[in-house]
């Protein structure tokens, strides 16, 4: 390694002295390296080859039953000042945290190989992209990081170049350092620690992707959000989708949803037949994470920092997401799915019958679902039928609209537009979902998940809201902000909106609002489409259903705004005064108008 990588080399040496591996391997990301790692994992049982006729170059990985998901209570943000982490994070003082986790790292790689994984989050030549290096003792992690990031020699070359530039400015290299070990896979010795002020991540005791693929949630969101605040951009838990109309215009939408709200389905949406016939197309840029930065033209430009999808398998089928299902028929790593008699991956919702469950046991319904509810697939984004080459554009794509959404069976309309940027930030801060019977605890309890970032914001939510507000400055050409709710129910408890491909009807209205070409009704909560503002041809929706979907219940919204006020107060002095003023403005408008008179407005 050259002198420009002295910082990296010293860190690798320090980690090796601490963890005591048998050998060290610097990953170059080559096909030959990947084949060797796959063969090694097949020999030791880490990966099991699936049916080569139906699923060529696909493998199954079974994780330990105690290691199947993210562990929020063991995920820490370690800042010098506890208030900087905020009430939205679990906190530990940095020196204490380093000492605690380093004691677990001591000697943990004996008998194993230490892999050095240089990676780039985002297109390798993008100024919006950021680099990192993950040290791990898991070849499974290496294979997944190769799919999920731009990993290997090109990333190392960029780190070297940026290190030289930093040295010329008298600065330290700014790549993110991530240290991971599966350790003993002991839940009592499991921590995922983030040190935003040091651009450092330390994770031990888990091999699960969300805890072990450190480029994903750990870097791209928790550390990334802190970097973004410091550098003037946004790192968000959002999909990016391009909507191409019959005139050949493509508008890009970034959208944030909590879990179980159809995020991946929306990112890979297939237009209804009538829309396809007219020439509408949908392009997938990203399904999970979005980095946005102001461009010279004042617009927000976005990249998907990831190169692959780490998606939830259950719920993926021909009826729910045919694009996702087509994507994962080859060159895919499956984790914790079931297997059929002819060695095909299986989960609830697919045809066929499982013979072996996710733990490798003969399938017995008494043991629960055949596939783990959080079972996953890891696959290159380029394999998606709706993938767009603009996902590799160095400058990113310009964002026309930002959409927030949640699972709200009542109160919240199908779609509404925020009045301006400050109102939009309030809409995002207030978003959330009501609990369902699938969750433990009471049903119908609203859990707020601001911008869908509650588990992922690497600093105080109050400061995060202030950072969002800071983008509204002279010369900015900011996206319009909207809120959608696909989950409104009628009196019979059934969903009123068909969802899936028909969500394009709502996206069409959103894009037309951005272009100034669609009408709306002016209400205290924002602009809501009238019955004639949405294109509903071919849908079996009666007037009563439409009235419910587009209705604004002033009394219900008064209670909602009061609860939003209490939520903002929970962040104390860090809650921006401007956001609290916006909450009061909307509350006052509702209080003045218990039975809102809708006023039609032009596009």
Annotated binding-site ranges for Mn(2+): 217, 237, 288
CB 194 within 8 A of CB 77: yes
CB 149 within 8 A of CB 119: yes
Annotated binding site for substrate: 70, 208-210, 259, 374-376
CB 237 within 8 A of CB 288: yes
Q: For tokens 């403005």, name the residue.
A: 585
Supply the DSSP symbol for 189.
G
Supply the DSSP symbol for 584.
H
Q: What is the DSSP string of 322-377?
A: HHHHHHTTSSEEEES-EEETTS-EE-TTSSS-EEE-TTSSBP-GGG--SS-TT-EE
Question: Taken in order 439, 440, 444, 447, is the CA torsion positive or negative?
Answer: negative
Residue 473 φ/ψ region, left for φ over 0, alpha for ψ in the -120 to 50 degree band, beta for the rest: beta
Which SS3 state, helix, strand or coil, does residue 57 take?
coil
CB 229 within 8 A of CB 270: no
Annotated binding site: 70, 208-210, 217, 237, 259-265, 288, 374-376, 407, 500-503
Q: For tokens 């909106």, name the residue.
A: 497
Which two structure tokens, joined as six digits, stand for 158? 């960029």
Annotated binding site for GTP: 260-265, 376, 407, 500-503
Which two structure tokens, joined as six digits, stand for 222? 């928790």
Q: Dihedrals φ, ψ of 180, to 5°?
A: -135, 140
Which two structure tokens, joined as six digits, stand for 25? 């391997």
The b-or-e profile of 241-278 (16+ CB within 10 A means b, else e) is bbbbbeeeebbbbbbbbbeebbbbbbbbbbbbeebeee
Which two structure tokens, joined as six digits, stand for 493? 């408890």
Catalytic residues: 261
CA distance 505 to 498: 11
CA distance 179 to 117: 10
Which SS3 state, helix, strand or coil, does residue 301 take?
strand
Beta-carbon contacts of residue 110 (< 8 Å; ≥ 6 apart)? 20, 21, 22
Give how far the C-alpha of residue 450 lies from the chain's centroid of Cα atoms, to the nearest Å: 13
> Where do the H-state alpha helices sit in 351-477?
421-430, 461-469
CB 430 within 8 A of CB 452: no
Q: How many helices (H) and strands (E) does the chain have?
A: 17, 31
Q: Dihedrals φ, ψ of 208, to 5°?
A: -65, 140
């Amino acid at each position: 390694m050259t002198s420009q990588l002295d910082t990296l080399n010293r860190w690798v040496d320090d980690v090796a002295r601490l963890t005591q591996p048998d050998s060290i391997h610097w990953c170059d990301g080559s096909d030959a390296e990947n084949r060797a790692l796959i063969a090694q994992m097949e020999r030791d049982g880490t990966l099991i080859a699936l049916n080569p006729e139906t699923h060529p170059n696909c493998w199954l990985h079974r994780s330990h039953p105690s290691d199947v998901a993210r562990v929020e209570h063991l995920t820490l943000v370690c800042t010098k000042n506890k208030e900087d982490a905020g009430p939205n994070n679990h906190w530990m003082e940095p020196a204490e945290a380093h000492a605690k986790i380093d004691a677990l790292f001591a000697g943990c790689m004996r008998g194993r190989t230490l892999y050095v994984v240089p990676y780039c989050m985002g297109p390798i030549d993008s100024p919006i992209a950021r680099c990192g290096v993950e040290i791990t003792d898991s070849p499974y992690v290496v294979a997944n990081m190769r799919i999920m990031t731009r990993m290997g020699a090109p990333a190392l070359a960029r780190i070297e170049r940026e290190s030289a530039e930093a040295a010329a400015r008298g600065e330290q290299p700014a790549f993110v350092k991530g240290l991971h070990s599966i350790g003993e896979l002991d839940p009592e010795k499991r921590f995922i620690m983030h040190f935003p002020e040091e651009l450092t991540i330390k994770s031990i005791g888990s091999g699960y992707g969300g805890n072990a693929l450190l480029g994903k949630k750990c870097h791209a969101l928790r550390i990334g959000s802190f970097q973004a605040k410091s550098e003037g951009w946004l790192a968000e838990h959002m999909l990016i989708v391009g909507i191409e109309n019959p005139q050949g215009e493509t508008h890009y939408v970034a959208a944030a949803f909590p879990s179980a709200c159809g995020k991946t389905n929306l990112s890979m949406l297939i237009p209804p037949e009538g829309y396809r016939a007219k020439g509408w197309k949908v392009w997938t840029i990203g399904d999970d994470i979005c980095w946005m930065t102001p461009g010279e033209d004042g617009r927000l430009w976005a990249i998907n920092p990831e190169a692959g999808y780490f998606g939830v398998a259950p719920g993926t089928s021909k009826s729910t997401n045919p694009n996702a299902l087509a994507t994962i028929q080859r060159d895919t790593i499956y984790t914790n799915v079931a297997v059929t008699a002819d060695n095909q991956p299986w989960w609830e919702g697919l045809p066929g019958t499982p013979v072996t469950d996710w733990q490798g046991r003969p399938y017995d319904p008494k043991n629960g679902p055949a596939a783990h509810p959080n079972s996953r697939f890891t696959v290159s984004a380029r394999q998606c039928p709706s993938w767009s080459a603009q996902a590799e554009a160095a400058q990113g794509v310009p964002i026309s609209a930002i959409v927030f959404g949640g699972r709200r069976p009542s109160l919240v309309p199908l779609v509404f537009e925020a009045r301006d940027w400050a109102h939009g930030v309030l809409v995002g801060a207030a978003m959330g979902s009501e609990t369902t019977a699938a969750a433990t605890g009471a049903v119908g309890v609203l859990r707020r998940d601001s911008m869908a970032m509650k588990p992922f914001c690497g600093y105080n939510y109050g400061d995060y809201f202030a950072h969002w507000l800071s983008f509204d400055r002279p010369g900015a050409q900011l996206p319009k902000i909207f809120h959608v709710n696909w989950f409104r129910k009628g009196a019979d408890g059934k969903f009123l909106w068909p969802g899936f491909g028909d969500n394009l009807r709502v996206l069409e209205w959103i894009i037309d609002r951005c272009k100034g070409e669609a009408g709306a009704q002016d209400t205290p909560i924002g602009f809501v489409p009238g019955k004639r503002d949405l294109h509903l041809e071919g849908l079996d929706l009666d007037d009563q259903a439409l009235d419910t979907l587009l209705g604004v219940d002033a009394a219900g919204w008064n209670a909602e705004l009061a609860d939003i006020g209490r939520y903002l107060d929970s962040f104390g002095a860090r809650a921006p005064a401007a956001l609290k003023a916006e909450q009061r403005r909307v509350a006052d408008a509702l209080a003045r108008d218990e039975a809102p008179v809708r006023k039609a407005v032009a596009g």
